[in-house]
Structure 1
Amino acid sequence: MSESQFKKAADIIQNLPKDGKIKPTTDDQLYFYKYFKQATIGDVNTTRPGLFDFVGKAKWEAWKGVEGTPKEDSWKLYVEKFIEVLKSVDDEESKKHITEIESA
């Protein structure tokens, strides 16, 4: 996967309508988050959130869990997972997004 495919997939994910057919699960969202952060920033560079910041802590731990993953691998894992999510919906919008990503 290329950086341009990664950027296209990230752009599509960030602009998915809340009430649309394409609905990544919470686990999918965490997966996208950790590989997006790893691909764009690298290893975790912040302190672990506090005890009562459940969402922040889950995100931080997910990102910490992929520490050391090269950005190219992060791009690939991110894009492959998103294409998997799109294929599970199997509608015209999803097919259009797959084509956009593959041609980026």
Structure 2
Amino acid sequence: MPSPAFLKASEEVRTLTSLPSNDDLLKLYALFKQATIGDNETSKPTFDIKGRYKWDAWDELQGMLPVEAETQYIALVEELKSKHQ
């Protein structure tokens, strides 16, 4: 079950006043998936380019503990809040 701090960060990221870079968005996506689901066990998308980037970003986190992904996600959201609010 996600921590209260993680849930708060996942809500706060939606309040950013400008859009983070694509790299930051991919990091957010991958860390969120790793924290909430764990290792990527899905098939790699074939024709969906955007889906492949997201899949690759998540797959790079194989083996990371969900609690570590939560910690990194929260830290990234805090960093983005300082840049985009």
Task: Give the TM bin, normalised by the shorter chain.
Answer: 0.7 to 0.9
Larger radius of gyration: 1
What displacement does 1:44 show?
A: 0.5
Residue matched to 2:78 = 83
What displacement does 1:12 show?
A: 2.3
What displacement does 1:33 show?
A: 0.3
Question: Please, what TM-score do these two structures have when normalized by structure 1?
Answer: 0.73
For the 8 Å contact 1:22–1:86, the answer to whether it is kept is no
Letter in 2 for 1:10: S
1:17-96 matches, cutoff 5 A: 21-50=17-46, 52-89=47-84, 94=85
Partner SS, residue 67 of structure 2: helix
What displacement does 1:82 show?
A: 1.0
* Runs of 4+ more than 6 Å apart: none
CA distance in 1, matches of 2:18, 2:67: 25
For the 8 Å contact 1:35–1:75, the answer to whether it is kept is yes
RMSD over aligned Cα atoms? 1.6
Unaligned runs of 5+ in 2: none
The share of aligned pairs that are identical, in percent, is 33
